Amino acid sequence: MRTVIIAIAASLLAACADHPLRVYVETDTGPAWLFQHDVGERTKQVAEAAAAIWGGTTFENVTIHWVDQVVGHCGAGQDSAHVIGCTETTVGDTFHHDEVHIYVSVWAPCPEATALPHEVGHVSVDKGGHTNPDWCSGDFWNAMIAALDGLTPGDASCAHAIQEWYSESLEQTYCR
Ligand SMILES: [Zn+2]
């Protein structure tokens, strides 16, 4: 297991103290970008670009885990083999925390072409559901694609994978 941590604030305080975005890589297999020194910064860059389209979030008390399988806690009623992202939110009187698990295929050419921009929607606007109309809006996803393409201009494999990802996402069961 390889672990990458970025930007931990005063973590000697209680475990539930506020902290900025944390990113962990918890798989030994995956595409090259996952094992580069800047994976934490790249993850943050994509998450922030996606959040700007969703309507914004600070990522305070959000932890992202890159994994080679998503254990089916979000997969109730689904075949857990098909769960590729999961955002679990804990809300208390004085704290909230989002734990985001994202499956990463060895074929994903960039973090943009993963479930990350989708899961950011759960962190930002729609905890635990797909009721916001943006989930199934072609205009919304075109804006998302444009924002994500802008992070890696000229990277054709990434741009192509982003396109494929989001045309499939409009065919999800919650959009039918
Ligand atoms: Zn979802």
Alpha carbon of 169 to ligand 1 centroid (Å): 10
Alpha carbon of 32 to ligand 1 centroid (Å): 26
Residues 139-151, mean pLDDT to the nearest whole number: 95
Predicted confidence band of residue 6 (pLDDT cuts 50, 70, 90): very low
Helices (H), ranges, 61-110? none
Alpha carbon of 125 to ligand 1 centroid (Å): 11
Alpha carbon of 12 to ligand 1 centroid (Å): 33
Alpha carbon of 41 to ligand 1 centroid (Å): 23
Predicted pLDDT at 2: 38
Euclidean distance between CA atoms 47 and 109, whole angstroms: 16
Predicted confidence band of residue 12 (pLDDT cuts 50, 70, 90): very low
Alpha carbon of 130 to ligand 1 centroid (Å): 6
The tens digit of pLDDT for each residue in 48-92 reads 999 999 998 889 999 999 999 876 667 555 555 678 889 988 888
Q: Give SS3 for 74.
A: helix
* CB-count burial class (<10 Å; 0-12, 13-18, 19+) for 169: middle
Predicted pLDDT at 1: 34
Euclidean distance between CA atoms 36 and 25, whole angstroms: 11
The two three-digit tokens of residue 163, written as one number: 């396109």
The two three-digit tokens of residue 63, written as one number: 């932890």
- pLDDT surpasses 70 at 42: yes
Domain range holding 42?
2-175
Length of the chain: 176
